[in-house]
Structure 1
């Protein structure tokens, strides 16, 4: 399942960014979620988030619409380098 979500996220994100080779995804599993942490080149973060977060929300809507077996849900976290 992990590779399918990786492939889906990269298929959506790579055409949007200037540095597609810098797109990476790290995984984390909690009791409630399968978490996917998306990292891009710092110059591309704005392209992924979009004005008022519209692009990020659209990406999440697509990813969240994929069915997952079991009770866990998928969560996409866009790493923007800020904590």
Structure 2
């Protein structure tokens, strides 16, 4: 899931080297992924009305469900 989010985010931004994903395991079934990008790329990751951010969350959540985990994506 972390690798998926990393890949998707690097494809969206102008500075792929600034993309950082941190995985935090809350418990056995819950994972939080913190996505950090360069400030100038924040708009590209969020998208108009949050559409891109919602799509990223949906894709990562679906991948997590396959592994039996609840995944939350936080964009920082």
Q: Which runs of 4+ in 1 moved over 4 A?
A: none
Match for residue 51 of structure 2 among 49, 54, 64? 54
More helix by share: 2
Question: Please, which runs of 5 or more residues in structure 1 have no aligned partner?
Answer: none
What do you get for the CA RMSD once the two structures are aligned? 1.3
Q: Counterparts of 1:1-83 in structure 2 under 5 Å?
A: 5-31=1-27, 33-66=30-63, 67-69=66-68, 72-79=69-76
Q: Structure 1 stretch 6-15 or stretch 56-65: which is displaced more?
A: 6-15
- Give 1 or 2 for the bigger CA radius of gyration: 1
Judging by fraction of residues, say which structure has more strand. 2
The count of aligned residue pairs is: 73
When the two structures are superposed, what TM-score results if normalisation uses the length of structure 2? 0.87
